[in-house]
C-alpha cells in the first residue's frame, strides 16, 4: 500500500472537482460516483487547486443491486427498494470488496466517539483528501445569492435501519421538539445556527426532502459544521422521530425527559435506528462491549451494485487505561487503531511487533499538529493567579506590556533550539517549525496556499541567540546580579509556563517545557517557572480569565472557519482570551456585572492585532466564494507573521502509530488523527473496508 505525504497527495493525478460543492450532484437516471484519487503521484501533474464545484460525476451503467449474505432469509424488501431512489455510488479505493467479517477496535469512554467517526454519515462530508466538502446523506445543497438562505435536499428514499422513511419530519422533530425545547437540556441549538440577536435561525420544511435554513446573517460557513464530526450530526441531529416520540412527554405525557435522555444514545441503544452504515445491535451487561451491525437500508453501493458496508459487524471494547489499549494493539487484538492509543514515541515498539501481531503500520497518517507542543503567549495578562506576591493590577500591567511586545515574543522564538527539544521530547520525531494550523489544512491547497504555509512555518523559527538577546536588550530587560533579566522597571521577572496533557501526552509537554526552560534561562537569561497544572480545577479559569503568561498547547485545525479560535480571537480562550470574550459577549453591547472582573472582556485597541484579526473574521464570515475565504485566512496569517508570533511553536506534524489488520483492504493511507474535526477516518467511507479473506 502506497503511503503519501501531504505534498505528494496534492500532486496526485485524477482528483476531480475539489473544494466546496455549491450545488451538489443532482438525481440521475443512473447512479453517479465520484472519481477517486489515483494511487500513485505523477511527476508531471499540477498541484491541485481548491475550486467551488461539485465532484466530477462518473456515470455508472445501470446495475443489478446485491446484498450481503447475512441479510438473506431476513424477510427484507428487495435491495433495490432499500438503498434509496438515488444511491450514492462509492468507487472502491483498491477494488470491489467481499462481504463478511467483524472489525474489532476499542474506545475509552461510553460514547466511543473515536469509533463513531468511522461510521459518521452527515448530509455534507469532507472529501477523502481533506481539500473540501461534498454531499453525502444530502443529495444536493445550495445557497441564495445573498447567503441568507441555505437549501438542502435529502437523498430521496433513504430509510432508517428499521425500514421507516427518513424525511424532514425527523429534522422538524429534532429542531422543534429537542433543540429548541428548553426541557431537553442535553440537546441545544448549535452555536452556528443563531441570528445576530442570538435567537435561533428559521428552519422550514416545504416537503419531505427539503430543509431550508434562513438567517439574517450569511450562512456560507454554517452548513459545513455538519461535516466535522459525530458531535455535529450523528449525536445531536440524527433523530428518528417515529422512535423517539414514544419517549417524548409532548407525545406521551406518561413519559419524562429523563426517559427520553436515557434512550437518546444510538451508539449503545439497540432499539435506536440510524441512517449510517451501522447501528447498535448488542451491548454487554457491564456496558464495556458494543456490537454494531450493518444497516440493511444503507444508501451507498459500490461500482458493481453491491450494497455497502462490506463488513458485517464492528465490535468495540471500552478500556479506559491507555496502556492496556496499547498492549492490546501490540498483541494484534484490534483490526484498526485510529485514535485508540499510542503516540509518536510508541512507533518503534509498534513497528517491532507488527509482523508477529499481524498488523501493518500506516505511514501516511499524521497527527496534523501545526504545533505540538506550542506555547501560547497571553495577549492580555491580568492579575489573579497569584504567580507573584505583589499580584497587583500595576505589576500585571508591566508583565502584560512585555508579553504584548512582539520583540519579546520573537526573542522567545529565536532563543530556542527546536531540534534539541524534539530530540528530548519526541526522540527526534517531528519537524522543527513555527506554530501554524494543520499542514493538511485545505487553506493550504494549491501553489498559493502552500507558499502561505511555508512562509508561516518558517516565520521567526530560526535559532539565533544573538538576535534574541539584542531584542531583549532593546526592550530594557537588563540582567541582574543573578544573571536573569528583570522587567524594564527593574523588578524581578519570572516567566510562568503552565502545562497539562494537552495533545494527549503529559510527559511530552513536561519534558519539552523543561528543555525550553533550560534553553531560555541559558540562552536568554529569562527565568522560567514550569507549572504542571494537569488535573487542577482552576486550569481553564486561569487560561480563559487571562491569568496565564504562557501555556503549552496542541494546535491543529483543517478548516479554520468552523473552528476559528487559533487565528481569529472571537471566543474566550487561547492567545486572546479577554479580547475574544469581548467579541463573543456582544462587543460594546455587553452589560458587565461589577462583581465579576473583566466580565465583558477587553475591547481591542484600535489598530491592534486583535482588532485586525476580528475585522478579518467578519470579512471572511460574509465572503461568498471559498477561494476568497481562503485569501482572508492568508491575510490573517500575514498579520500573525508581522505582529506575532502569538504561539511559540516547537514542532509539528508527527507521524502517528495507526495500525490495521494485514488483511484489511480499501484503507487510504493518508489522514490526520490529531484534530477530530475532519471526521477522519469517516471522511474516507470505511463502509468500503473489507477483509481479504
**Whether residues 648 and 659 fall in one domain:** no
**Whether residues 647 and 664 fall in one domain:** no
Please report the pLDDT score of residue 1 as a whole number. Answer: 39
Asked whether residue 676 is assigned to any structural domain, the reply reads yes
Range of the domain at 285: 63-121+276-365+655-692
Reported confidence tier of residue 693, pLDDT bands at 50, 70, 90: confident
Above 60 in pLDDT, residue 598?
yes
In angstroms, the Cα distances linking 664 to 103, 117, 240, 323 are 9, 18, 32, 24
* Cell output for 50: 481548491
In angstroms, the Cα distances linking 19 to 48, 53, 130, 215, 449 are 10, 7, 9, 24, 13
Asked whether residue 41 is assigned to any structural domain, the reply reads no
Q: Are the beta carbons of 184 and 258 closer than 8 angstroms?
A: no
Above 70 in pLDDT, residue 611?
yes
Above 60 in pLDDT, residue 19?
no
- The beta-carbon contacts of 566-571 under 8 Å, at least 24 apart in sequence, are 566/370, 566/437, 567/437, 567/613, 567/633, 567/636, 567/637, 567/640, 568/613, 568/614, 568/616, 568/617, 568/636, 569/604, 569/610, 569/613, 569/614, 570/614, 570/617
* Cell output for 68: 450481503
26 vs 21: CA distance, rounded Å:
12
Q: Are the beta carbons of 492 and 480 closer than 8 angstroms?
A: yes
pLDDT in tens, 287-333: 999 999 999 999 999 999 999 999 999 999 999 999 999 999 999 99
Residue 165's DSSP bridge partners are 159
Asked whether residue 477 is assigned to any structural domain, the reply reads yes
Above 50 in pLDDT, residue 20?
no
Please report the pLDDT score of residue 59 as a whole number. Answer: 53
Q: Are the beta carbons of 380 and 546 closer than 8 angstroms?
A: yes
669 vs 589: CA distance, rounded Å:
49
Please report the pLDDT score of residue 28 as a whole number. Answer: 31
Strand blocks (E) in 431-526: 431-432, 494-499
CATH number at residue 236: 3.90.76.10
CATH number at residue 355: 3.40.190.10
The tally of domains found in the chain comes to 3
Reported confidence tier of residue 471, pLDDT bands at 50, 70, 90: very high
Share of the chain above pLDDT 90, in %: 90
Q: Rounded to 5 degrees, what are φ and ψ at 9? A: -60, -35
Phi-psi region of 563 (alpha: psi -120 to 50; beta: other; left: phi over 0): beta
Asked whether residue 410 is assigned to any structural domain, the reply reads yes
355-359, 396-400, 504-508, 521-525, range with the lowest pLDDT:
504-508
User: Sign of the CA dihedral 310, 312, 317, 318?
Assistant: positive
**Whether residues 621 and 549 fall in one domain:** yes
Above 70 in pLDDT, residue 175?
yes
Asked whether residue 544 is assigned to any structural domain, the reply reads yes
Q: What is the average per-residue pLDDT within 218-240?
A: 97
**Whether residues 360 and 497 fall in one domain:** no
Residue 473's H or E segment, with its range, is helix 465-474
Above 80 in pLDDT, residue 193?
yes
Q: Rounded to 5 degrees, what are φ and ψ at 455? A: -65, -45
DSSP state of 3: -
**Whether residues 466 and 527 fall in one domain:** yes
Above 70 in pLDDT, residue 425?
yes
Q: Are the beta carbons of 70 and 99 closer than 8 angstroms?
A: yes
Asked whether residue 238 is assigned to any structural domain, the reply reads yes
Among 652, 668, 684, residue at a domain's last position: 652
* Cell output for 414: 529565536
Q: What is the average per-residue pLDDT within 615-629?
A: 98
Above 90 in pLDDT, residue 8?
no
Above 50 in pLDDT, residue 37?
no
Strand blocks (E) in 340-424: 359-362, 365-366, 371-377
Q: What SS3 state is found at 200?
A: strand
**Whether residues 547 and 644 fall in one domain:** yes
More confident residue, 32 or 469: 469
Q: What is the average per-residue pLDDT within 525-553?
A: 97
DSSP state of 194: B
- For β-strands 313-318 and 133-135, DSSP reports them as unpaired
DSSP letter string, 274-308: -SSSEEEEEE-TTS-EEEEEE-TT--EE-TT-BBS
Q: What SS3 state is found at 204?
A: strand
Above 60 in pLDDT, residue 339?
yes
Above 70 in pLDDT, residue 4?
no
97 vs 537: CA distance, rounded Å:
50
DSSP state of 537: T
Share of the chain above pLDDT 70, in %: 91
Is pTM beyond 0.75? Reply is: yes
Reported confidence tier of residue 60, pLDDT bands at 50, 70, 90: low
**Whether residues 197 and 299 fall in one domain:** no
* Cell output for 307: 450494497
**Whether residues 107 and 151 fall in one domain:** no
DSSP state of 374: E
Q: Residue for cell digits 497571553?
A: 378
Please report the pLDDT score of residue 27 as a whole number. Answer: 28
375 vs 554: CA distance, rounded Å:
9
Q: Are the beta carbons of 71 and 298 closer than 8 angstroms?
A: no
**Whether residues 95 and 148 fall in one domain:** no
Mean pLDDT of the chain: 91
End-to-end CA distance of the chain: 17
**Whether residues 601 and 491 fall in one domain:** yes
Q: What is the average per-residue pLDDT within 153-160?
A: 97
CA 689 to chain CA centroid, nearest Å: 23
298 vs 308: CA distance, rounded Å:
7
Q: Are the beta carbons of 584 and 617 closer than 8 angstroms?
A: no
Give which of 199, 201, 225, 198 is closest to 211, Cα–Cα.
Answer: 201
CATH number at residue 644: 3.10.105.10
Reported confidence tier of residue 218, pLDDT bands at 50, 70, 90: very high
**Whether residues 644 and 660 fall in one domain:** no
Asked whether residue 57 is assigned to any structural domain, the reply reads no
Q: Are the beta carbons of 42 and 11 closer than 8 angstroms?
A: yes
Please report the pLDDT score of residue 583 as a whole number. Answer: 96
Q: Are the beta carbons of 353 and 330 closer than 8 angstroms?
A: yes
Reported confidence tier of residue 61, pLDDT bands at 50, 70, 90: low
Please report the pLDDT score of residue 386 as a whole number. Answer: 95
**Whether residues 593 and 475 fall in one domain:** yes
Please report the pLDDT score of residue 62 as a whole number. Answer: 75
Q: What is the average per-residue pLDDT within 559-567?
A: 97
Q: Are the beta carbons of 20 and 561 closer than 8 angstroms?
A: no
pLDDT in tens, 232-286: 999 999 999 999 999 999 999 999 999 999 999 999 999 999 999 999 999 999 9
Q: Are the beta carbons of 90 and 200 closer than 8 angstroms?
A: no
Please report the pLDDT score of residue 63 as a whole number. Answer: 85
Asked whether residue 255 is assigned to any structural domain, the reply reads no
Amino acid at each position: 500500500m502506497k503511503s503519501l505525504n501531504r505534498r505528494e497527495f496534492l500532486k496526485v493525478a485524477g482528483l476531480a472537482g475539489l473544494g466546496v460543492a455549491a450545488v451538489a450532484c443532482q438525481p440521475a437516471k443512473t447512479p453517479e460516483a465520484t472519481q477517486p484519487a489515483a494511487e500513485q503521484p505523477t511527476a508531471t501533474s499540477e498541484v491541485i487547486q481548491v475550486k467551488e464545484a461539485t465532484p466530477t460525476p462518473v456515470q455508472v451503467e445501470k446495475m443489478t443491486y446485491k446484498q450481503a449474505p447475512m441479510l438473506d432469509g431476513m424477510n427484507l424488501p428487495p435491495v433495490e427498494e432499500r438503498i434509496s431512489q438515488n444511491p450514492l455510488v462509492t468507487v472502491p479505493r483498491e477494488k470491489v470488496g467481499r462481504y463478511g467479517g467483524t472489525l474489532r477496535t476499542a474506545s475509552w469512554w461510553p460514547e466511543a466517539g473515536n469509533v463513531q467517526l468511522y461510521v459518521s454519515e452527515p448530509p455534507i462530508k469532507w472529501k477523502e483528501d481533506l481539500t473540501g466538502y461534498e454531499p453525502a446523506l444530502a443529495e444536493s445543497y445550495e445557497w441564495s445569492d445573498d447567503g441568507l438562505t441555505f437549501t438542502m435536499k435529502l437523498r430521496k428514499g433513504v430509510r432508517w435501519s428499521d425500514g421507516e422513511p427518513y424525511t424532514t419530519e425527523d429534522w422538524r422533530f429534532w429542531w422543534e421538539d429537542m433543540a429548541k425545547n428548553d426541557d431537553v437540556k442535553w440537546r441545544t441549538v448549535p452555536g452556528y445556527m443563531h441570528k445576530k440577536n442570538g435567537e435561533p435561525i428559521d428552519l422550514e420544511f416545504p416537503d419531505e426532502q427539503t430543509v431550508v435554513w434562513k438567517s439574517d446573517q450569511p450562512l456560507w460557513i454554517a452548513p459545513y459544521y455538519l461535516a466535522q464530526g459525530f458531535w455535529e450530526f450523528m449525536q445531536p441531529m440524527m433523530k428518528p422521530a417515529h422512535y423517539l416520540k414514544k419517549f417524548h412527554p409532548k407525545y406521551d405525557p406518561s413519559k419524562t425527559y429523563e426517559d427520553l435522555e436515557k434512550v437518546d444514545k444510538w451508539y449503545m441503544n439497540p432499539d435506536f435506528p440510524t441512517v449510517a452504515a451501522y447501528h447498535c445491535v448488542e451491548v454487554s451487561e457491564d456496558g464495556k462491549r458494543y456490537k454494531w451491525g450493518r444497516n440493511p437500508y444503507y444508501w451507498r453501493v459500490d461500482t458493481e451494485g453491491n450494497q455497502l458496508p462490506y463488513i458485517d459487524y464492528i465490535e468495540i471494547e471500552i478500556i479506559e487505561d491507555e496502556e492496556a489499549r496499547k498492549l492490546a494493539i501490540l498483541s494484534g487484538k484490534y483490526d484498526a487503531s485510529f485514535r485508540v492509543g499510542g503516540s509518536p514515541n510508541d512507533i518503534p515498539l509498534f513497528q517491532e511487533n507488527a509482523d508477529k501481531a499481524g498488523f501493518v503500520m500506516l505511514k501516511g497518517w499524521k497527527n496534523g499538529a501545526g504545533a505540538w507542543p506550542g506555547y501560547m503567549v497571553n495577549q492580555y495578562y491580568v492579575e489573579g493567579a497569584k504567580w507573584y506576591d505583589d499580584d497587583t493590577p500595576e505589576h500585571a500591567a508591566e508583565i502584560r506590556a512585555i508579553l504584548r511586545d512582539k520583540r519579546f515574543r520573537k526573542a522567545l522564538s529565536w532563543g530556542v533550539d527546536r531540534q534539541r527539544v524534539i530530540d528530548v521530547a519526541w526522540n527526534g520525531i517531528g519537524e522543527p517549525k513555527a506554530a501554524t494550523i494543520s499542514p493538511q489544512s485545505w487553506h493550504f491547497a494549491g501553489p498559493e496556499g502552500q507558499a502561505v504555509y511555508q512562509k508561516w512555518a518558517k516565520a521567526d523559527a530560526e535559532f539565533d541567540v544573538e538576535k534574541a538577546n539584542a531584542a531583549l536588550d532593546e526592550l530594557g530587560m537588563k540582567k541582574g546580579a543573578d544573571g536573569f533579566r528583570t522587567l524594564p522597571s527593574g523588578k524581578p521577572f519570572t516567566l510562568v509556563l503552565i502545562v497539562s496533557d494537552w495533545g494527549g501526552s503529559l510527559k511530552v509537554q513536561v519534558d519539552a517545557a523543561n528543555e525550553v526552560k533550560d534553553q531560555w534561562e541559558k540562552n536568554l537569561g529569562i527565568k522560567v517557572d514550569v507549572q504542571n497544572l494537569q488535573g487542577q480545577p482552576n486550569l481553564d479559569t486561569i487560561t480563559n480569565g487571562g491569568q496565564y503568561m504562557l501555556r503549552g498547547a496542541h494546535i491543529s485545525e483543517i478548516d479554520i472557519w468552523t473552528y476559528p479560535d487559533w487565528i481569529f480571537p472571537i471566543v474566550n480562550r487561547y492567545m486572546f482570551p479577554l479580547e475574544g470574550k469581548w467579541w463573543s459577549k456582544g462587543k460594546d453591547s455587553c452589560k458587565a456585572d461589577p462583581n465579576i472582573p473583566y466580565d465583558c472582556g477587553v475591547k481591542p485597541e484600535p489598530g491592534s492585532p486583535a482588532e485586525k484579526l476580528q475585522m478579518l473574521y467578519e470579512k471572511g464570515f460574509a465572503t461568498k466564494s471559498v477561494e476568497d475565504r481562503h485569501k482572508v485566512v492568508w491575510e490573517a496569517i500575514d498579520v500573525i507573521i508581522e505582529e506575532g508570533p502569538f504561539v511559540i511553536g516547537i514542532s509539528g506534524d508527527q507521524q502517528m502509530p495507526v495500525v490495521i489488520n494485514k488483511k484489511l483492504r480499501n484503507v487510504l493511507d493518508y489522514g490526520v488523527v490529531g484534530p477530530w474535526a475532519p471526521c477522519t477516518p469517516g471522511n474516507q467511507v470505511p463502509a468500503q473496508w473489507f477483509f481479504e479473506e
